[in-house]
Structure 1
Amino acid sequence: MSEKPAPQVVRVDPTAAAAPATDTNELTLSRNAPLVPAASIASRSLVTVIAIMTFLSALAAGSGLLIAGASQDWQRSVASEMTVQIRPLAGHDLEDEVTKAAAIVRATEGVSSVEVYAKDASEKLLEPWLGTGLNLDELPVPRLIAVKTDPSHPPDLPALRQRLAAAIAGASVDDHQLWFAWLATMANTVVVIASLIFALVLVAMFLTVAFATRGAMAGNHEIIGILHFVGAEDRFIAREFQHHFLRLGLRGGTIGGLCAVASFLAAGLVRAHLQATPGGDELEALFGTFSLGFKGYATIVAISLSIAVATGAMSRAIVFRHLQKMG
């Protein structure tokens, strides 16, 4: 019987014994050739899918960070303000009671500023609901006193309420705790939704990588079987797949991460262009300045790298498990 030529063994088993000296160039070419072809339609498609998934994941994470930051700004703003209302009562001089209430509030420790709204200003606040051109003299429109407090040394609200109630019959203090709780709940809900979207996108991407790995294994089934048969270590075969999918993950993650960064930078430029407009003010009130800062951009970089590493690790685990079943 004629035995198989040595070059064939060298081609399929890079870990086998060295071939004769005349086959050195052939051995070098075999070892440099990747087990999984890098330039293929499936590889380019997987890079595109990873880029899209990375982009969506970064958008979800960045949006969550923006909402969380804006929520903290809202809560700080609401927590540092309160409103004193003086209701007009029969037999009481409203202007005198407003002056007395403002003096009591100014004397309270922890109050940084006090602004008394005049009658015209108080009535103007009702125009969005009642319309313009109305005579409000017959309505019991309360007078408002806007108070800003020191967040580091907030005033004693129960004591302030007692002093105002003892001195002025129609006085009440609104510390905006209801709005504070509502804003916190709304922001936390949006952050949870963004986190769920982020998790779902990652799950979808990992399933795609799993299918792509199995497809690559199916396309190279004969080569994998020969390598496994002649004694190639499972770690070598799994490592080849891991390096291949790690490179694809790095390419796709980099593209998706850069697109996400560009999107947030473009959103910041649009917000700056719309600054001082009604729409721009509403966007800034809801999302802040659209500036992620170092933390946000570092998060996008971490997401891109994590997706690439997870892609390689997942492909290695799938191949290794398949080879163990073969053995």
Structure 2
Amino acid sequence: MDATRERTQAAARKPVDRPAAEPALPPTLRRNAPLVPTDSAASRSLAAVIAILTFLAGLCAGAAEIVASSAGQWQGTVAQEVTIQVRPAPGRDLDADIARADAIAKAEPGIAATRVFSKMEAERLLEPWLGSGLDLSDLPVPRLITLKLGDQTPDLKHLRAGLTEAMPGVASLDDHALWLQRLSTAANTFVGIGVGIVALVLVATGLAVAFATRGAMAGNREVVEVLHFVGADDDFIARAFQRRFFGLGLRGGIIGSAAALAAFALAGLLARNWRSGPAGDEVEALFGAFHIGWRGYASVMAIGVIASLVTAVISRLTVRRFLA
């Protein structure tokens, strides 16, 4: 029993022969660089192209959002008012006709308030077309009455019929429906053009990525052949290219989106500085305060993400076609 224990302990103390470590590969056979290098001049150029295209697409999307929101505000403001036009007629008292039209409008349910334009105010409205300094006293300049609509929707057909019956050929009602329709058409056209430009920019991004991917495949042809030789399939190679180009697209998309948001922030700051002058008032009346809102910010950031996804998908499809 003691002899058996001693043999066991002696065997445990005996050094075990281990296989020798495999020799390290020579430096010429090592590959420390990734399959698709991202720090090359071509990769940096592609990231810059994606950033520029994303910046342009973000500007188009933000501008379309500004126009859409401004058009909505214009339509909301104009839709809250209608206008009565009272024309001078021979043998009629213009002031009496204006007072009668104003009384008919105030008697209509749904009309919150009325405002009669004076003769001087009516003539001032013609200055953008006729210029200032003209004597319009001899011209039959119509007089205007603006009606502000209340919460209750008025019956404009009934009001128009009442004006026509009381003062035929003298008073008429304009609900601005034609102008609102044209404004809506123009705003929708501009938004459609912006969406089309964004789509074209994304197509251009895809084409640039396709050419860059084919160039990277041609430059790494020997590496791809070695990977095929050791058993790597096309999916493995395509995933490697997809990861690398997705990183490039994400970098360019983030830079382009951030630059577009910074441009809108700078435009808003300049608009606030210009607001004290007449030019600033006109710019603010047309485009607001250059504030794109949460939808604009979301659309600009979404374009950056979409650009990176397009980069990944196009690179994978290009690799699959190259290997086919």
Q: Same fold (TM over 0.5)?
A: yes
Shift of 1:102: 0.9
Deviation at 1:77, TM superposition (A): 1.8
Aligned residue number for residue 272 of structure 2: 272
Specify whether residues 30 and 105 from structure 1 end up closer, same or farther in structure 2 by C-alpha distance, changes over 3 A only.
farther
CA 1:200–1:215: 2 relative to 1, 3 Å: same
* Aligned residue number for residue 199 of structure 1: 199
Moved more, 32-41 or 210-219: 32-41
Aligned in 2, Cα 1:301/1:168: closer, same or farther, shift over 3 Å? Answer: same
Q: Give distance in 2, aligned partners of 1:305 and 1:130.
A: 52
1:189-231 Cα shifts (integer Å, max 9, x gaps):
2112212211111111110000000000000001101111221
Name the residue aligned to 2:138: 138
- Give 1:130 shift: 3.4
Shift of 1:111: 1.6
Matched residue SS, 1:101: helix
Query: Structure 1-normalised TM-score?
Result: 0.86
Structure 2 CA distance for partners of 1:313 and 1:25, relative to 1, 3 Å: farther
Q: Which residue of 2 aligns with 1:180?
A: 180
One-letter amino acid of the counterpart of residue 153, structure 2: P
> What SS is found at the alignment partner of 1:84?
strand
Whether the aligned pair in 1 keeps the contact of 2:202 and 2:310 (CA below 8 Å) is: no
State the Cα distance separating 1:141 from its structure 2 match.
Answer: 1.7
**SS of 1:251 mapped into structure 2:** helix
Contact 2:82 2:174 in 1 (8 A): yes
Q: What amino acid maps onto 1:136 in structure 2?
A: L
* CA apart distance, 1:107: 1.9
- What does residue range 2-81 of structure 1 map to in structure 2 within 5 Å? 22=22, 33-81=33-81
Which consecutive residues of structure 2, in runs of 5 or more, have no partner in the other structure? 1-19
1:155 is matched with 154
- SS of the residue aligned with 1:22? coil
Residues 241, 101 of structure 1: CA spacing in aligned structure 2 closer, same or farther, 3 A cutoff?
A: same
TM-score, normalised relative to structure 2: 0.87
Q: 1:166 to 1:147 in 2, by over 3 A?
A: same
Distance 1:132 1:61 in 2: 40
Alpha carbons of structure 1 residues 279 and 43: separation in structure 2 relative to 1, 3 Å: same
Seen in structure 2, the aligned counterparts of structure 1 residues 25 and 100 have a Cα distance that, compared at 3 Å, is farther
TM-fit CA distance, 1:51? 0.4
After TM superposition, what 4+ stretches of structure 1 lie above 4 angstroms from structure 2? 23-26, 29-33
Which structure has the larger Rg?
Answer: 2
Give the 3 Å change call, closer, same or farther, for CA 293–25 of structure 1 in structure 2.
farther
CA distance in 1, matches of 2:229, 2:25: 24
| SS of residue paired to 2:38 | coil
Identity of paired residues, percent?
52
Question: Residue 117 of structure 1 corresponds to which residue in structure 2?
Answer: 117
Give me the whole-angstrom Cα distance separating, in 1, the residues matched to 2:67 and 2:106: 35
278 and 230 in structure 1: CA distance in 2 versus 1, 3 angstrom threshold: same
SS in 2 for 1:173: strand
